[in-house]
């Protein structure tokens, strides 16, 4: 059994990790940390886990994280890089759901996250945790930087086109929407029900932290210079993400060939569903699952391809993807513990 520790188990990605790992057949939950909730049974905070998780939260100084096989960090940026050296030295693998190990460019990290990177040497060896595009590196990694939720949709939506050299990489547009849970489990005016409900707004239009991450990874898929306009929006729902991606075709390619390009790219991917051409995937079709769905459109059979991508921002966009990485790192079938059927309605 894989002994698992979770640092920061009180947020939305933390409880999602608990939900997934509690029924994972190869996992033993060993430690869950929270300074504020030290000693509180997990099930008292999250009644949905009653009968599934019998651990109590413990402060980080009490938790025996170095006795785990892997530790997930569901924490704010900066926490994982502070603790990773000690854990790695003890032979513990690390999966960070924040941004500490996503960007290889330390200057970009420090610009966007307003803090110095404390272990750039470890950053160089960290694997980027988007399984469909980086499986081999993840399998061999000691440390994984889990992708951001928006970057997951943009990369999987654009990868087949960029790899085929079928689009103008310098003029990409991603119009993305996320549910309120993407902002985290904290008291903040903008995410109060009376503020976010019955409302729709863009944010981060002039620059968003997920832009440099996405650009860095997309640039690995093509020799051309990548230019991306990325606009995120907050929608009045709890969970779910919908990205509408626009790209100009530079090759003479018909719709059937476009569809085949995506189907062939993802035919062996258990968590990517390429829907029939012209479909309209809905966020609820992925709710509480690790599935990501893609559909292609070509308005008026012109030179613009529109890629629609949906996922649950807390599962494939965060905790489910992290467990998918863990499975690979420990030689398991990557689907283990992740074959949840989406919830409807």
Phi/psi of residue 128, nearest 5 degrees: -80, 125
d(CA 274, CA 258): 11
Q: 56 and 104 share a domain?
A: yes
For 230-261, what is each residue's pLDDT tens digit? 999 999 999 999 999 999 999 999 999 999 99
Name the 3-class secondary structure at 337: coil
Positions in the chain whose pLDDT score sits under 70? none
Residue 283 falls inside a structural domain: yes
- For residue 53, the model assigns a pLDDT of 96
Q: 76 and 167 share a domain?
A: no
Q: 175 and 89 share a domain?
A: no
Please tell me whether the peptide bond between 336 and the residue prior to it is cis, using omega within 30 degrees of 0.
Answer: no
Q: 174 and 308 share a domain?
A: yes
Phi/psi of residue 187, nearest 5 degrees: -80, 110
Q: 246 and 104 share a domain?
A: no
- For residue 192, the model assigns a pLDDT of 87
Residue 211 falls inside a structural domain: yes
CA geometry: angle 17, 221, 272, nearest 5 deg:
40
Question: For the chain, what is the domain count?
Answer: 2
State which residues form the domain around 28: 2-125
Q: 115 and 208 share a domain?
A: no
d(CA 296, CA 255): 9
- Domain with residue 189: its CATH number is 3.30.360.10
Catalytically annotated residues = 149
Of the candidates 132, 174, 133, 176, the one whose C-alpha atom is nearest the C-alpha of residue 305 is 174
Q: 158 and 272 share a domain?
A: yes
Q: 225 and 300 share a domain?
A: yes
Specify the long-range contacts of residues 75-82, CB closer than 8 Å, at least 24 apart: 75/7, 75/8, 76/8, 77/113, 77/115, 78/113, 78/115, 79/7, 79/8, 80/7, 81/117, 81/118, 81/119, 81/122, 81/123, 82/118
Q: 81 and 36 share a domain?
A: yes
């Amino acid at each position: 059994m894989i002994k698992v520790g979770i640092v920061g188990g009180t947020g939305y990605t933390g409880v999602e990790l608990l939900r997934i790992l509690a029924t994972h057949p190869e996992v033993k939950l060993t430690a869950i940390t929270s300074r504020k909730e030290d000693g509180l049974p997990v099930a008292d905070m999250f009644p949905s886990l009653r009968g599934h998780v019998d651990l109590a939260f413990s402060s980080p100084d009490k938790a025996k994280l170095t006795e785990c096989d892997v530790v997930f960090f569901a924490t704010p940026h900066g926490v994982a890089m502070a603790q990773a050296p000690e854990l790695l030295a003890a032979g513990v693998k690390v999966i960070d759901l924040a941004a500490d190990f996503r960007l290889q460019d330390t200057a970009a990290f420090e610009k966007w996250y307003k803090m110095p990177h404390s272990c750039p040497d470890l950053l160089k060896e960290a694997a980027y945790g988007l399984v469909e595009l980086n499986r081999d590196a993840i399998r061999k990694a000691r440390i994984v930087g889990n992708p951001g939720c928006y970057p997951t949709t943009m990369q999987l939506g654009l990868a087949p086109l960029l790899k085929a050299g079928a689009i103008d990489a310098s003029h990409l547009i991603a119009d993305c929407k996320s549910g309120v849970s993407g902002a985290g489990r904290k008291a903040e005016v903008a995410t109060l029900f009376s503020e976010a409900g019955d409302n729709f707004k863009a944010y981060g239009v002039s620059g968003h932290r997920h832009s440099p991450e996405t650009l860095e990874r997309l640039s690995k898929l093509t020799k051309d210079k990548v230019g991306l306009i990325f606009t995120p929006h907050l929608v009045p729902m709890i969970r779910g993400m919908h990205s509408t991606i626009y790209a100009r075709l530079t090759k003479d390619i018909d719709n059937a060939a476009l569809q085949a390009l995506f189907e062939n790219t993802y035919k062996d991917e258990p968590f990517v569903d390429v829907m029939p051409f012209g479909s309209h995937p809905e966020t609820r079709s992925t709710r509480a699952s690790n599935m990501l769905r893609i559909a292609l459109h070509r308005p008026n059979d012109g030179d613009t391809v529109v890629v629609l991508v949906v996922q649950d921002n807390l599962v494939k966009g965060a905790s489910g993807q992290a467990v998918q990485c863990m499975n690979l790192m420990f030689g398991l079938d990557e689907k283990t513990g992740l074959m949840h059927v989406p919830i409807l309605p």
